[in-house]
Chains A and B, each alone.
Chain A
Amino acid sequence: MQITVHVNGASYAREVEPRLLLIHFLRDELRLTGSHWGCDTSNCGACVVWLDEIPVKSCTVLAVMADGRRVLTVEGLERRGVLDPIQQGFTECHGLQCGFCTPGMMLTGRWLLDHHPDPSPEVIREALSGQLCRCTGYENIVRSVRWAAEHPA
Chain B
Amino acid sequence: MQVPAYVEYEKATSIEHALALLARFGPEARILAGGHSLIPMMKLRLAQPETLVDINGLGELCYLRVTDGELRIGALTRHAQLLDSPVAGQHFAILHDAEKVIADPIVRNWGTVGGSLCQADPSEDLSAAFAALKATMLIQGPGGSRTVPAREFHTGPYETVVAPGELLTEIRIAIRPGGGSAYAKVGRRVGDWPVGAAGAAIWLAGDIITDAGIGLTAVGARHFSAAEAEEFLRGAPATEASFARAGEIAAAHCNPSPDQRGPADYKRHLASELTTRALRRALRRAQRQDA
- Give A contacts to B, CB under 8 Å: 1, 17-19, 21, 24, 40-43, 45, 48, 51, 54-57, 60-62, 64-65, 67, 108, 126-127, 129-131
Interface centre among A1, A21, A130 (most CB of B within 10 A): A130
Q: With the chains together, A17 CA to B3 CA distance in Å?
A: 11
Q: With the chains together, A72 CA to B275 CA distance in Å?
A: 43
Cβ contacts B175-216/A at 8 Å (1 or 0 each)? 000000000000000110000000000000000000000000
If A17-B6, A61-B35 touch, whether A54 touches B54 (CB-CB below 8 Å) is no
Contact call B105/A42, Cβ cutoff below 8 A: no
Q: With the chains together, A1 CA to B49 CA distance in Å?
A: 17
Q: With the chains together, A67 CA to B54 CA distance in Å?
A: 11
Q: Which residues of A contact B6 (CB under 8 A)?
A: 17, 19
Contact call B39/A60, Cβ cutoff below 8 A: yes
Contact call B54/A64, Cβ cutoff below 8 A: yes
Contact call B54/A57, Cβ cutoff below 8 A: no
Q: With the chains together, A41 CA to B1 CA distance in Å?
A: 10
Cβ contacts B6-50/A at 8 Å (1 or 0 each)? 111101000000000000000000001001100110110000000
8 further interface pairs, Cβ-Cβ under 8 Å (given A62-B32, A130-B191, A131-B104):
A1-B9, A19-B42, A56-B110, A62-B52, A64-B9, A65-B54, A129-B104, A130-B105
Contact call B9/A18, Cβ cutoff below 8 A: yes
Contact call B35/A62, Cβ cutoff below 8 A: yes
A to B contact number (C-beta, < 8 Å): 82
Closest to B54 in A: A65
Q: At the interface, yes or no: B241 with Cβ under 8 Å from chain A?
A: no
Q: Which residues of A contact B1 (CB under 8 A)?
A: 40
Q: With the chains together, A62 CA to B42 CA distance in Å?
A: 11
Q: Which residues of A contact B35 (CB under 8 A)?
A: 60-62, 65
Contact call B9/A21, Cβ cutoff below 8 A: no
Q: Which residues of A contact B8 (CB under 8 A)?
A: 18
- Give B contacts to A, CB under 8 Å: 1-9, 11, 32, 35-36, 39-40, 42-43, 52, 54, 56, 80, 103-107, 109-110, 190-191
Q: With the chains together, A65 CA to B2 CA distance in Å?
A: 18
Contact call A67/B5, Cβ cutoff below 8 A: no
Task: Say which residue of B42, B105, B110 sits within 8 Å of A127 (CB atoms).
Answer: B105
Q: How far is the CB of B23 from chain A (nearest CB, A)?
A: 20
Q: With the chains together, A24 CA to B2 CA distance in Å?
A: 11
Contact call A55/B106, Cβ cutoff below 8 A: yes
Q: Which residues of B contact A42 (CB under 8 A)?
A: 36, 40, 107
Q: Which residues of B contact A55 (CB under 8 A)?
A: 106, 109
Q: With the chains together, A55 CA to B5 CA distance in Å?
A: 26
Closest to A66 in B: B56
| 19 A-B contacts (beta carbon < 8 Å) | A18-B52, A19-B5, A40-B1, A41-B43, A43-B191, A45-B104, A45-B106, A54-B80, A56-B109, A56-B110, A57-B106, A61-B35, A61-B39, A62-B32, A64-B11, A127-B105, A130-B104, A130-B190, A131-B106
Q: With the chains together, A53 CA to B35 CA distance in Å?
A: 18
Q: With the chains together, A42 CA to B37 CA distance in Å?
A: 10
Q: Which residues of A contact B107 (CB under 8 A)?
A: 42, 57, 60, 130
Q: Which residues of B contact A17 (CB under 8 A)?
A: 6
Q: Which residues of A contact B32 (CB under 8 A)?
A: 62, 65
If A51-B110, A129-B104 touch, whether A40 touches B7 (CB-CB below 8 Å) is no
Closest to A56 in B: B110
